[in-house]
Amino acid sequence: MSTSDTPDATSAKATSAKSTSAKATTSRPTSLPPAGRTPVAQRPHAGLGDRLRLWWDALARPTQWAIGVPFILLIAALPVIRPPLLTTVGTDFGSVMAQFGMVALIAIGLNVVVGQAGLLDLGYVGFYAIGAYTVALLTSPDSPWNLTDDWLSNDWAWLACLPVAIAVTAISGLILGSPTLRLRGDYLAIVTLGFGEIVRLLADNLDSVTGGGRGLSQVAYPRVGVSEEHPNGVFSAGNASGTLNAGVWWFWVSIVLIVIALLVVGNLERSRVGRAWVAIREDEDAAEIMGVPTFRFKLWAFVIGAAIGGISGALYAGQVQFVVPTNFNVINSMLFLCAVVLGGQGNKLGVIVGAFVVVYLPNFFLGRTEIFGIPIDGNEIANYKYLFFGLALVLLMIFRPQGLFPARQKLLTYGRELYVAARAAARKVSGAGDGSGRADAVPAVDVATEGDAR
């Protein structure tokens, strides 16, 4: 048992336990956390992500804006500037960035499920597919449910279908989650893996609706910026040449959606919901007996994650304007998961970096014949991307199991919680009640902050 405890250390511990000077106690973890659960970080505020976060949190709000906005603009400008070393050769850099935007959005959504609530979802690609197919089914002329003939104008059909795609994926998240979230760990992973495949197989086999393996073409996209040069607008797949091609425009759309998603998810993380997710991830039974309605919060995570995946799917359908089942292969789920794990589960900015790595690296090598004067076969390297990502994950699990940018999440503090409760109570101007009891005042707060009465 105490092989590592030298006699000196033990006696030092004993003396300091008596005298309350807790100075020289190098606390050794005498009991490890329950096996099978990986704590986010063993030491508080230690990782690179943590240091960045501490630095960021210390800044004043205006300073945060002053740094954040130009930073986002710089990233948005990347495909326009096309920095020499960064630019891809095999694929257009604009469409690589557009792809990155979509995967980043997916990583943010999947991070809510896997990173925040600790639910291993291996079928996330299913929600991506449902989002894409919702838009395609409603706007493609090949689909029996096409609405663009009668009452949806092709100009804004994509935008009109975006909320529908969000709603449909959220509902499918609810339908998948309600029965399966009662399962735990491995069982959940297996069931979700099956879900991802079921969605793809449905798309492949419901020929009369989804067009089967032929897919659905001519999906709607926003008709904006129509000119002589771009007869179908800047978002059309036809706008493929030049610096300001469709890929760049779609990248910009995804940046807007990413910022919105980050604001929503960030606010959730800092609320009672976020605190519940962390508790569930760390010890579900303990969370339950602390009074966290675990099932309800797991379902929330699932639904929110699904909705974000659906947005990304809608983006994809609009950008490519063509959906086929093979795009939603289960291997994509693994790639998305890889982005989340690489970036650091639970760190929503880290997973964006993870998404960049996953999308950009293969494209960096694609079509490249030399790097720094050394001749390489880039296409061959890009072909082996799954091998390399697999190896990277194995190495990561050995040397850095918390991902490249682990970050401890800031949990809702009591002071803020009280403020939120007070604001909600003020909004609810309900008959004050006698308010003398201990638990009497609680339900009102619960309802207001969770938006979900029992």
Contacts with other proteins by CB under 8 A lie at: 20, 22, 27-34, 37, 39-44, 272, 275-276, 278-279, 282-283, 285-294, 408, 411, 413-415, 417-418, 421, 435, 438-439, 441-443, 445-446, 454
From 158, 114, 151, select the one nearest 320 (Cα to Cα): 158
Task: For residues 221 and 200, give the distance between their C-alpha atoms in angstroms, rounded to a whole number.
Answer: 23
Per the CB < 8 A criterion, the answer to whether 337 and 106 are in contact is no
Would you call 331 exposed, middle or buried from its count of C-beta atoms within 10 A (0-12, 13-18, 19+)? exposed
Q: 32 or 60: whose CB is closer to other proteins?
A: 32
Task: For residues 179 and 183, give the distance between their C-alpha atoms in angstroms, rounded to a whole number.
Answer: 8
Least CB distance to other proteins at residue 173 (A): 22
Task: For residues 11 and 20, give the distance between their C-alpha atoms in angstroms, rounded to a whole number.
Answer: 14
Q: 27 or 208: whose CB is closer to other proteins?
A: 27
Least CB distance to other proteins at residue 283 (A): 6
Least CB distance to other proteins at residue 383 (A): 39
Q: 70 or 185: whose CB is closer to other proteins?
A: 185
Least CB distance to other proteins at residue 29 (A): 5
Tell me the H-state helices in 366-436.
Answer: 378-383, 385-399, 414-427
Q: 260 or 442: whose CB is closer to other proteins?
A: 442
Torsion, Cα of 231, 234, 239, 242 (10° steps): 120
Distances in Å between the Cα of 282 and the Cα atoms of 98, 105, 124, 277 are: 35, 25, 22, 9
Distances in Å between the Cα of 141 and the Cα atoms of 89, 115, 137, 154, 216 are: 34, 39, 9, 11, 8
Strand duo 216-217 + 322-323: pairing: antiparallel
Its sign, for the CA torsion 336, 341, 346, 348, is negative
Q: 77 or 422: whose CB is closer to other proteins?
A: 422
Q: 44 or 62: whose CB is closer to other proteins?
A: 44
Task: For residues 100 and 173, give the distance between their C-alpha atoms in angstroms, rounded to a whole number.
Answer: 24
Q: 174 or 411: whose CB is closer to other proteins?
A: 411
Per the CB < 8 A criterion, the answer to whether 233 and 226 are in contact is yes
For residue 323, the 8-state DSSP code is: E
Least CB distance to other proteins at residue 291 (A): 3
Strand duo 216-217 + 370-371: pairing: unpaired
Least CB distance to other proteins at residue 290 (A): 5
Residue 398: both structure tokens together: 């050995």
- DSSP, collapsed to helix, strand or coil, labels residue 218 as coil
Q: 78 or 411: whose CB is closer to other proteins?
A: 411
Task: For residues 154 and 233, give the distance between their C-alpha atoms in angstroms, rounded to a whole number.
Answer: 12
Least CB distance to other proteins at residue 21 (A): 10
Least CB distance to other proteins at residue 115 (A): 12
Least CB distance to other proteins at residue 400 (A): 16
Q: 31 or 227: whose CB is closer to other proteins?
A: 31
